[in-house]
């Protein structure tokens, strides 16, 4: 609660107040109020500067913290259905002011002091939050000598400082980008060089294989020509032998006839 009192409006309540007796509840409220004061917790006090609500708010401030009872069950009391808690020893009605402070709490928050709660939230808590955030960013309404100075000048100085840092980061990013581009270009050139070298090796290998095939083809052509020449010569010799054999046979036939 000490951490929250500078950020929100704190209205203390005692939940499940039907668990203790009236006399114990009064002592408990006094004890809670004493502990809040001793720990420096600032709770929301209903305003008493407006004459129209000063009396009721002053009275309600004396009822803090509110003792409330909640229930979602409806019980028939007389001819009406009311929100209540049913116990063996009796019924506790949520909206009965003799049983708990729920009605008082609702009246104070919703009907009487809603506008003041909104104003306190804006003028006190939000402005305090805004002031702390501005001080964290370096904006102060006094200089080191505790003399007031223009917030516009502080804003311009901070803006110029921020723009300078932004330009510095942009330059660093630009240099980093250029460096990465150069590294990438170097990698691409190296890869292109390796690719050309590989292409030259494959081209040379292809030329060597082609030359070997041409030499082998030439050798086969020479062997084929030699074979054809030998075959022609053999055919010629065979033809001559056949002709010579035919002449000898004719000669022998003539000699027999004689």
Domain presence at residue 89: yes
Of residues 120 and 136, the one with the higher pLDDT is 120
Q: How do residues 105-129 score in pLDDT, each as one tens digit?
A: 888 888 888 888 888 888 888 888 8
Domain presence at residue 22: yes
Whether the model pTM is above 0.85: no
pLDDT of residue 235: 84
Q: How do residues 47-77 score in pLDDT, each as one tens digit?
A: 888 888 888 888 888 888 888 988 888 888 8
- The parent domain of residue 79 ranges over 13-137
The answer, yes or no, to whether residue 148 has pLDDT greater than 60, is: no
Domain presence at residue 133: yes
Q: Go through the chain and tell me how many residues it has.
A: 258
Domain presence at residue 77: yes
Domain presence at residue 56: yes
| Separation of alpha carbons 184 and 177, rounded Å | 10
Overall domain count for the chain: 1
Domain presence at residue 183: no
| Separation of alpha carbons 155 and 161, rounded Å | 10
Domain presence at residue 119: yes
What CATH number has the domain bearing residue 64?
A: 3.40.50.300
pLDDT of residue 144: 55
Average pLDDT over residues 78-102: 85
The answer, yes or no, to whether residue 183 has pLDDT greater than 80, is: yes
Domain presence at residue 24: yes
């Amino acid at each position: 609660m000490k951490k929250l009192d500078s950020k929100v409006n704190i209205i203390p309540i005692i939940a499940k107040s039907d668990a203790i007796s009236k006399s114990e509840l009064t002592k408990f409220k006094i004890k809670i109020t004493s502990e809040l004061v001793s720990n420096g917790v600032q709770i929301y006090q209903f305003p008493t500067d407006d004459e129209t609500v000063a009396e009721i708010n002053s009275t309600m401030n004396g009822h803090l913290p509110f003792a409330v009872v909640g229930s979602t069950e409806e019980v028939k009391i007389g001819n009406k259905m009311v929100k209540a808690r049913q116990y063996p020893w009796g019924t506790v009605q949520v909206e009965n002011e003799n049983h708990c402070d729920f009605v008082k709490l609702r009246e104070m928050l919703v009907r009487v002091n809603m506008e003041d709660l909104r104003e306190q939230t804006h003028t006190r808590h939000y402005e305090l939050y805004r002031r702390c955030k501005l001080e964290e960013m370096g904006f102060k309404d006094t200089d080191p000598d505790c003399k007031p100075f223009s917030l516009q000048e502080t804003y311009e100085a901070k803006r110029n400082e921020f723009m300078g840092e932004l330009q510095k980061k942009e330059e660093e990013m630009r240099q980093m980008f250029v460096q990465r581009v150069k590294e990438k270009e170097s990698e691409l050139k190296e890869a292109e060089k390796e690719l050309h070298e590989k292409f030259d090796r494959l081209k040379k290998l292809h030329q060597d294989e082609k030359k070997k095939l041409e030499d082998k083809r030439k050798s086969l052509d020479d062997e084929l020509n030699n074979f054809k020449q030998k075959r022609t010569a053999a055919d010629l010799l065979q033809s001559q032998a056949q002709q010579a054999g035919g002449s000898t046979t004719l000669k022998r036939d003539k000699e027999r006839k004689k």
